[in-house]
Amino acid sequence: MTDQIQAHSRQAGLTIWLTGLSGAGKSTLAALLTDRLRERGLAVEWLDGDELRRTLGRGLGFSREDRFENIRRAVYLAAMLNRHGVITIVSVISPYAAMRSYARQELPGFVEVFVDCPLPVCEARDVKGLYAKARSGEIPAFTGISDPYEAPSDPELTLHTAERTPEECVEELISWLTEYRRYPL
């Protein structure tokens, strides 16, 4: 076996699924984690919610059905990447427990990470100004304000982003992957 093939087979089938409210820190942590894993020479792809909606999910809205469809497409792509030995980081709100169960069922190496941050903190951060628009009614069906967020009841890991720095959260995630999952990173 060549080194390259070994590298691929040892990292096959891992999807790190970051779920949480808008502004909780999913993209920040995904970007940092992508860098950290690439520094180790691993093949990594990051599927971000906003980008998915601009591309694969283009035209989909925010009804429960459309949100599910968006997730189904992300899962399809993650499964394909995993089959080729690519570690896939998915950062999407994924507000319904049922859609995360679907992802878990479809992806053999599914790791659910709850990016936990209290709503008032997310709202105070208001990274993209969306909470203000949701409060004024300009954006309807906004998760946490006018649409549900079902917090994970049994995630593999919970990261408290209001209490730790992004670096600390990513360290915790990498430690968890290596210690508990015994994943050779």
Number of neighbouring beta carbons within 10 Å of residue 117: 22
Does residue 94 carry a catalytic annotation? yes
Nearer to ligand ADP, 127 or 151 (CB): 127
Which residues have C-beta within 8 Å of that of residue 78, sequence separation ≥ 6? 15, 47, 88, 90, 103, 107
Q: Report the C-alpha gap between 185 and 180 in whole angstroms.
A: 12
CB 145, min distance to ligand ADP, A: 14
**Smallest gap from residue 1 Cβ to ligand ADP (A):** 38
List of residues contacting ligand ADP (CB under 6 A): 20, 22-29, 91, 125, 127, 161, 164-166, 169
CA distance 15 to 109: 6
Q: Which is nearer to ligand ADP, 71 or 85 (CB)?
A: 71
Q: Which is nearer to ligand ADP, 30 or 107 (CB)?
A: 30
Least separation in angstroms between CB 131 and ligand ADP: 11
Nearer to ligand ADP (CB atom), residue 11 or residue 143: 143
Contact by Cβ (8 Å): 130, 142: yes
At its nearest, how many Å lie between ligand ADP and the CB of residue 10?
Answer: 28
In the complex with ligand ADP, which residue's Cβ is closer, 12 or 176?
Answer: 176
Please, what is the minimum distance in Å from the beta carbon of residue 112 to ligand ADP? 15
Instruction: Using CB positions, name the residue nearest to ligand ADP.
Output: 25
Side chain identity at residue 38, one-letter code: R
Strands 15-19, 110-116: parallel, antiparallel or unpaired by DSSP? parallel
Active-site annotation holder among 91, 94, 146, 153: 94
DSSP string for residues in 105-174: HH-TTEEEEEEE--HHHHHHH-TTSHHHHHHHTSS-S-BTTTB-----SS-SEEEETTTS-HHHHHHHHH
Give catalytic residues, as residue numbers. Answer: 94
